[in-house]
């Protein structure tokens, strides 16, 4: 990685006006009660530093954006990006950081769980030019993890860390940390390679750098959440698994495809369970039962894809119903292709297992390709 970032004007006296030294990026969703206290804490912690704070709010129903703007009208160091129709911590961080022109960007949670008094120390470390990235760690001497909601969260967190460490090119005791700082030009350089899904933006940054980053870890506590609630759930953990897969396979196959295929596999299980139940409990013909099972599995798959695979462009309201109909048509055609191809291979003396598998793969690829362009219109 480059030594001291080329654009660190305050180091060589080129700074004229405008952009501050440090942009603090705060991704937030439903954090209204935490906004004012957080900005107060930043004011105290960053006294003597030329800073700004950029909230990135995904149109929180609790009116987080409005709370930020109210303060912004009094204090020009406070900015707000309000995103509509999108959700996601990582992508919020990316957009916030890319909107900055400061020398350095820091990322910190908006729920007061991170210890903002660490920020000046982190900035000093970067300004020394010896590091590309400073991470506030709960797992180095002096840091702690007390604020994690429960034992389950500790388990998830520790497990995730172990898993991540296998792949990491640099030593990070807290690769899941949501609190870190780096030179803004470096962020811009890495931005193209970022995956942007899920929670693990730090991990993504570290894995996206062509050369190992020089990382400094500073101990930091993790406070308990006072207001609002955590957004980290099972879906987020699945996205984390997806991020690792994506990095391992080097983007050969799009991450969404894995998710789509996994949902498809679950759909097969749902189909079989429904079919078995119908066989046992009703006197209908096999054909009717098979049809019902197929329809239920399709609705199930659609829902799961809408919740997970296409979480960031989730369909709602009338678009949901239109999407479902389209999805069923697309998958219906996929099924016909699947059966047709498998059957013709089988008739040409291909082993039935291979014929079946080829048919299924072609079906999945078709379903994926068409639904991500027609149903969810992937960019
Ligand atoms: N814009 C936006 N969009 N912000 C979001 C979203 C989203 O979809 N989801 C969460 N956030 C914001 C929250 O409002 C909060 O400011 C911050 O991101 C962290 O989210 P929390 O929901 O509070 O996460 P957590 O406390 O469970 O997890 C923290 O600890 C993890 C390690 O255990 C975070 O710091 C994680 O980054 C960290 O990995
Ligand atoms: Mn939190």
C-beta 87 within 6 A of ligand 1: yes
Give percent of the chain above pLDDT 90. 43
C-beta 95 within 6 A of ligand 1: no
Query: Pairing between strand 180-183 and 133-137?
Result: antiparallel
Same domain as 47, residue 177: yes
C-beta 306 within 6 A of ligand 1: no
Same domain as 272, residue 186: no
Residue of the nearest CA to atom 34 in ligand 1? 178
C-beta 199 within 6 A of ligand 1: yes
HSE-CB of 231 using CA atoms within 13 angstroms: 17
**CATH number, domain with residue 26:** 3.90.550.10
Please report the pLDDT score of residue 1 as a whole number: 47
Residue 92 forms beta bridges with which residues?
Answer: none
Same domain as 196, residue 301: no
Residues of the chain with pLDDT under 50: 1-13, 378-379
pLDDT in tens, 65-75: 999 999 999 99
C-beta 96 within 6 A of ligand 1: no
Same domain as 132, residue 270: no
Judge whether 120 lies within some domain. Answer: yes
What's the token pair of residue 345?
Answer: 């291979």
Query: Using CA atoms, how far apart are residues 151 and 13, in angstroms rounded to an integer?
Result: 50
Same domain as 224, residue 122: yes
CA of 110 to the centre of ligand 1 (A): 8
Please report the pLDDT score of residue 222 as a whole number: 87
Helix (H) or strand (E) holding 215: strand 215-219
Best mutation site among 199, 233, 311 for ligand 1 pocket (most ligand atoms within 8 Å of CB): 199
C-beta 86 within 6 A of ligand 1: no
Phi, psi at residue 63, to the nearest 5°? 80, 30
Please report the pLDDT score of residue 147 as a whole number: 67
CA 148 to ligand 1: nearest atom: 33
C-beta 183 within 6 A of ligand 1: no
CA of 30 to the centre of ligand 2 (A): 11
Same domain as 338, residue 208: no
Judge whether 208 lies within some domain. Answer: yes
Please report the pLDDT score of residue 333 as a whole number: 86
Query: Using CA atoms, how far apart are residues 201 and 43, in angstroms rounded to an integer?
Result: 25
Same domain as 215, residue 72: yes
C-beta 229 within 6 A of ligand 1: no
C-beta 302 within 6 A of ligand 1: no
Domain range for 310 is 255-375
CA of 133 to the centre of ligand 2 (A): 22
Same domain as 188, residue 39: yes
Judge whether 130 lies within some domain. Answer: yes
End position of a domain, from candidates 192, 214, 229: 229
* pTM beyond 0.75: no
Judge whether 13 lies within some domain. Answer: yes
> Which ligand sits nearest to residue 239's alpha carbon?
1
Judge whether 158 lies within some domain. Answer: yes
Same domain as 174, residue 288: no
Judge whether 250 lies within some domain. Answer: no
Same domain as 260, residue 188: no
The radius of gyration of the chain from alpha carbons, rounded to an integer in Å, stands at: 24
Residue of the nearest CA to atom 24 in ligand 1? 230
End position of a domain, from candidates 229, 263, 280: 229
Judge whether 246 lies within some domain. Answer: no
End position of a domain, from candidates 187, 211, 229: 229
CA of 298 to the centre of ligand 2 (A): 35
Q: How many domains does the chain have?
A: 2
Judge whether 235 lies within some domain. Answer: no
Query: Using CA atoms, how far apart are residues 115 and 123, in angstroms rounded to an integer?
Result: 14
Same domain as 304, residue 215: no
Residue of the nearest CA to atom 14 in ligand 1? 28
C-beta 56 within 6 A of ligand 1: yes
What's the token pair of residue 31?
Answer: 């954090």
Same domain as 261, residue 211: no
Please report the pLDDT score of residue 15 as a whole number: 55
């Amino acid at each position: 990685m480059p030594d001291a970032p080329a654009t660190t004007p305050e180091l060589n006296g080129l700074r004229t006006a405008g952009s501050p030294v440090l942009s603090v990026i705060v991704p937030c969703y439903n954090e209204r009660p935490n906004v004012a206290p957080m900005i107060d804490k930043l004011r105290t912690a960053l006294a003597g530093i030329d800073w700004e704070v950029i909230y990135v709010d995904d149109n929180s129903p609790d009116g987080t954006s409005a709370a930020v703007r109210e303060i912004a009208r009094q204090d020009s160091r406070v900015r707000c990006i309000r995103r509509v129709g999108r959700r996601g911590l990582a992508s919020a961080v990316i957009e916030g950081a890319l909107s900055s022109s400061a020398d350095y960007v820091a990322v910190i949670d908006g729920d007061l769980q991170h210890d903002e008094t660490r920020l000046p120390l982190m900035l000093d470390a970067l300004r020394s030019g010896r590091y590309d990235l400073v991470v506030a760690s709960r797992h180095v001497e002096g840091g702690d993890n007390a604020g994690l909601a429960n034992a389950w969260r500790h388990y998830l967190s520790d497990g995730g860390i172990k898993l991540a460490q296998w792949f990491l090119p640099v030593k990070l005791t807290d690769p899941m940390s949501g609190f870190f700082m780096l030179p803004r030009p470096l962020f811009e350089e890495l931005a193209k390679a970022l995956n942007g899904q899920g929670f693990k933006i730090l991990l993504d940054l570290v894995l996206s750098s062509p050369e190992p980053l020089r990382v400094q870890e500073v101990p930091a506590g993790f406070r308990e959440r006072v207001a609002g609630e955590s957004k980290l759930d099972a879906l987020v953990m699945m996205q984390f698994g997806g991020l690792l897969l994506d990095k391992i396979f080097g983007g050969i196959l799009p991450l969404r495809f894995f998710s789509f295929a996994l949902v498809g596999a679950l759909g097969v299980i749902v189909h079989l369970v429904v079919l078995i139940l119908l066989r046992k409990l009703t006197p209908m013909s096999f054909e009717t039962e098979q049809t019902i099972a197929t329809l239920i599995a399709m609705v199930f798959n659609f829902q799961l894809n809408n919740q997970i695979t296409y979480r960031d462009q989730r369909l709602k309201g009338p678009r949901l119903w239109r999407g479902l109909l389209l999805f069923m048509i697309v998958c219906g055609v996929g099924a016909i292709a699947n059966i047709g191809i498998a059957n013709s291979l089988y008739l040409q003396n291909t082993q039935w297992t291979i014929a079946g598998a080829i048919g299924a793969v072609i079906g999945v690829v078709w379903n994926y390709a068409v639904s991500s362009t027609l149903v969810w219109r992937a960019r």
